[in-house]
Amino acid sequence: MVVNHSLLLVSERKETQWSRTLRQALLPLGKLRVVSEEDAEQMVVRSDYDVIIIDAGVVYGVVPLISRLRAQRPEARVIVATASPTWRRAREALQAGAADYIRKSLDEEELCSKIEAVLKLPPPQLR
Amino acid sequence: MTEAIVLFADNDSNFLKTRTDFLVQEGYRVIPAADPAEAQSLLIQGGVDLAILDIRLRDDNDEKDISGLTLAKEVARSIPKVILTDFPSVGAAREALRPQADGLPAAVEFVSKKEGPQVLIQAVRRALGPDAAWMRMVKQAVEGTDNELKEDYDNAQKQSAANYWASLGVAVVGIVIIFLGMALVLGNQLEIGVASTVGGLVTEGISYLFFKRVDAANERMDQYHEGRIEGQRFGTLLRACDGLDSERKRGRCREQVIKAATKRWLGASEKDEKSQ
């Protein structure tokens, strides 16, 4: 069953291998829109997104972006995806208010279940 | 001083001892726990402002031991937790800091033991929040004022005693001079006798002035004493608020105590101004 969640990926404008994989993985959850770091805030102000995924490999400042996005939409659930995870970056992202910190190398099923789990969380509280 | 109470759970007794000493030096009251069962029972008991939990509370060599993390997730969710580990990993940081089903993370801070005591203390300060620091500041201010009032009270007491003995001494001298003057009058040495009696009366007047200073010093002592009692009442009520079981109740209780004290103190100072 396809659920109609609105999902946003902050990454490169052009389609990448991973954004294609993610789009495919999240098909059962809803439509994924891809936006650049520069346009992310505007997009978040304009429309409600249930989940915002930040591609840490592309975004210059992940933690400031999480803060900016959550300042615009405190109820936004933000997930950081990275190809090279470290515990310090995981700590920074999660303490900045990210709901999860995931590896980009997860397969489609795992990606979908992680995003689904975040969607089930109550709206984040301001820390 | 009312310190924040920190539960520190770690099965490495040397590490527990050194970090406990460090936290005590930083002004915290530390309750150490050496195993998960002890930590769990202390967390359930309550009365702890923050818990620092090592992930591997049973066996440092067992990769599967996540007993500290499990405690953080499952026990006393309202108590903020700092997860401490000698084996930091992405998975552990994720499990500690990502929101759980209730929307809250298991821990508010995740610290590697290798980051040293300063990073730990910063994490503890952040975890306790500005509220705890502010409360400590208020309580220290109450205590500081109490010390000053005690010093003023002691000075006033010394002044009172000194003036009392001076008043008594001068009064006795005055009486002796008066009696001497009267004796001289009776012995037909009228001029010297009258002068002596007058001198005695003047001396008694001086004694009265000393006695008035005793009175003033006693009045100041009463004021300082009242001030100390007020401060102690304020401190006692704030401490009573700390015993409530939720941050919301504690906040509301403190607000009421502060409002009542402000009203009383500002009301008192307005009365003072009017009376002046």
| Interface check A84 vs B, CB under 8 A | no
pLDDT for residue B1 = 45
Please indicate, yes or no, if residue A73 is contained in any of the structural domains. yes
CATH number of residue A58's parent domain: 3.40.50.2300
**Are A94 and B97 in contact (CB < 8 Å)?**
yes
DSSP string, B67-115: HHHHHHHHS-TTS-EEEEESS--HHHHHHHHSB-TTSSBS-SEEEEGGG
* C-alpha span between B175 and B83 (Å, rounded): 80
Ranges of chain B whose pLDDT falls below 70: 1-2, 130-137, 139-140, 242-248, 268-276
At residue B124, what is the residue type? V
> CA torsion, points B40, B43, B44, B45, in degrees to nearest 10?
120
Q: Do A91 and B97 touch (CB under 8 A)?
A: yes
Full residue range of the structural domain in which residue A10 is found: 5-120
Domain ranges in chain B? 5-107, 136-275
Query: DSSP character for B113?
Result: G
Q: Strand order in A77-82's β-sheet?
A: A30-35, A5-10, A51-55, A77-82, A100-103
**According to the model, what pLDDT value does residue B119 have?**
94
Give first-to-last CA distance, chain A, whole Å: 34
In a domain, A126, yes or no: no
Q: What is the pLDDT of residue B133?
A: 58
pLDDT at A126: 41
Q: Closest approach of chain B CAs to the CA of A101, in angstroms?
A: 7
* CA–CA separation, A81 and A103 (whole Å): 6
Q: State if pTM tops 0.80.
A: no
The tokens 């527990």 sit on which residue? B16
Alpha helices in A1-127 (DSSP H): 17-25, 37-46, 62-72, 87-96, 108-120
Contacts of B69 in chain A (CB under 8 A): none
State the number of CA atoms in the 13 A half-sphere of B81 facing the CB. 29
* Rounded Cα distance, A36 and A12, in Å: 5
Which residues of chain A are modeled with pLDDT < 50?
Answer: 126-127
pLDDT given for residue B272 in this prediction: 63
Q: Quick check: is A23 in a domain?
A: yes
- List, for residues B45-82, the tens digit of each pLDDT value: 888 889 999 999 998 888 899 999 999 999 988 889 99
Write the residue in B88, B98, B112 that is nearest to A100 by C-beta: B98
Q: Using CB atoms, pick whichever of A90, A123, A124 lies closest to residue B90.
A: A90
When divided into structural domains, chain A yields a total of 1
| Distance of alpha carbon B44 from alpha carbon B30, whole angstroms | 16
Distance from C-alpha of A120 to C-alpha of A98, rounded to nearest angstrom: 15
Per-residue tokens: B126: 């952040």
Quickly name the fold that domain B5-107 has.
Rossmann fold (3.40.50)
A9: closest CA of chain B, how far (Å): 20
Q: Which residues of A touch B99 (CB under 8 A)?
A: 99, 121, 124
Cβ neighbours of residue B112 closer than 8 Å, sequence gap 6 or more:
A87, B84, B85, B86, B88, B119
Sign of CA dihedral B113, A118, A106, A97: negative
% helix, strand, coil for chain A, step of 5: 40, 20, 35
**pLDDT reported for residue B138:** 74
DSSP A57: T
Q: Where are the alpha helices (DSSP H) in B116-189?
A: 116-186
